[in-house]
Amino acid sequence: MRRIVIVGGGLAGHRAACALVDSEFGGEITIVGEEEHRPYDRPPLSKQVLGGIHEDESAFYDSEVLSDANWKLGSPAAGLDVAKNVVTLANGEEVEYDGLVIATGRRAMELPGFHGHEGVHMLRSLDDSRALRKAAVRDKRVVIVGAGFIGCEVAATLRGVGVDDVTMVEMVPHPMPVVGPDVGARAAKIHEDHGVRLQLGTVVSEPVGQARIEGVRLENGDVIPADLVLISIGSVPNSEWLDESGLQLNKGTVVCDENCFALGTDNVVAAGDVASWPHPDAGGELVWVEHWTNARDMGAAAAKNLIAEPGERQPHVTVPTFWSDQYDVKIKSAGFLQAADRIEVIEEDPEKPSLVAEAHKGDLLTGAIVFNKNRRIIDYQRQLGEQTAATNTAAA
């Protein structure tokens, strides 16, 4: 291969490019990014960058090792012709490749009826974080629609910088739905103890106000006044540019084999939030993982497999992990929580606060969650990794 094109300027794309350099790939590397910015870290956007704790520039990755790369920023990919090995950009430019890495990630999901209202925000990019930081002044009434990890982190950050009036609305009866009701109830108390109002088990039906947002109306007719609304209800893959490519998509994700190759191809790999692949812990079923650690690991694995000889390719088998900082609580998890049929708190100290919870499917441990128990999650990660290795060996 002489020319490798990486479509996606986020973490997975950056790690893919760095892996190519580390592997002494001697050809041309082209990185296509939708944003004008070079790759940067996204977890701080809802915490340190939003709260003004860190300078915006501190979020950027060190791209010095990629100084010889060909950067095409500010014009996203608009189409792919796998027969001709050509990526078409939104500005009409055609970029030829010998090998392709798809790492376009995901974007924030919109809530019907809210688009175009002044005072309505999303949070997925550095510019989004900057706009939200500028708008969320102390005297604003803030409503966060969606109490997932991003919504909860933003609520904690805004309370930390003195925004008094913060309400979260969530359709599930507890924050962070993936952690289950028991852990979610503990999370709800933490937010309430810090002055956040929670509207749980309900949904927002429509915005209140014309050009500018004045509030949100709930399904029961109640209105929550708001000067600022953050929509944080999930994400969708950035894969529309692949609709006519012939690649197999599953709920918008690029379907890959265990080595990260898009099915039916030998020179196209995918990585990060936009990729799905069979995982032994899911019984070989397709999974996609929307966490930082997977984007980091899969980006590098996909790039290395792309330039490796077929017999040297390594399956992407990883234990998903994530973390979230909310107030003085560091939440960490490992494994596939969504595969569990129950999540139980097995250890707790409400005063710290700290807890340990295990996720099981039948008798099988599928994951774990901890609050302020960093060492414990390392043990669980090791245990889950050993289970994954054993399952993978048995399947082989």
Architecture of domain 110-233 in this structure:
3-Layer(bba) Sandwich (3.50)
Residue 367 half-sphere exposure toward CB, CA atoms < 13 A: 25
CATH 3.50.50.60 domain span(s) along the chain: 3-107+236-312, 110-233
Q: Which residues pair with 256 in a beta bridge?
A: 262
CA dist 187 → 45, 177, 184, 327, 373 (Å): 21, 10, 5, 11, 15
Q: Which of 394, 336, 345, 392 is nearest to 364 (CA)?
A: 336
Residue 388 has what pLDDT? 79
CA distance 303 to 29: 11
CA dist 146 → 150, 155, 204, 232 (Å): 8, 11, 10, 5
Residue 392 has what pLDDT? 66
Residue 142 half-sphere exposure toward CB, CA atoms < 13 A: 31
In the block, tokens 């812990």 appear at 281
Q: Which fold does the domain 3-107+236-312 belong to in CATH? A: FAD/NAD(P)-binding domain (3.50.50)
Q: Edge-to-edge, what's the strand order for the sheet holding 94-96?
A: 77-81, 86-89, 94-96
Residues in the chain where the model's pLDDT stays below 70: 392-396
Which structure tokens are listed for 274? 């936009």
CATH 3.30.390.30 domain span(s) along the chain: 328-395
Q: Do residues 367 and 335 lie in contact, with contact meaning Cβ atoms separated by under 8 Å?
A: yes
pTM for the whole structure: 0.95
Residue 303 has what pLDDT? 98
Exposed, middle or buried: residue 29 (CB in 10 Å: 0-12, 13-18, 19+)?
buried
Q: Do you find a cis peptide bond into 353, omega within 30 degrees of 0? A: yes
CB neighbour list of residue 235: distance below 8 Å, 6 or more residues apart: 106, 107, 108, 109, 124, 273, 290
Collapsed DSSP state (helix, strand, coil) of residue 315:
coil
Q: Do residues 248 and 257 lie in contact, with contact meaning Cβ atoms separated by under 8 Å?
A: no
CB atoms under 10 Å from CB of 141, counted, come to: 17
Q: Which fold does the domain 328-395 belong to in CATH? A: Enolase-like; domain 1 (3.30.390)
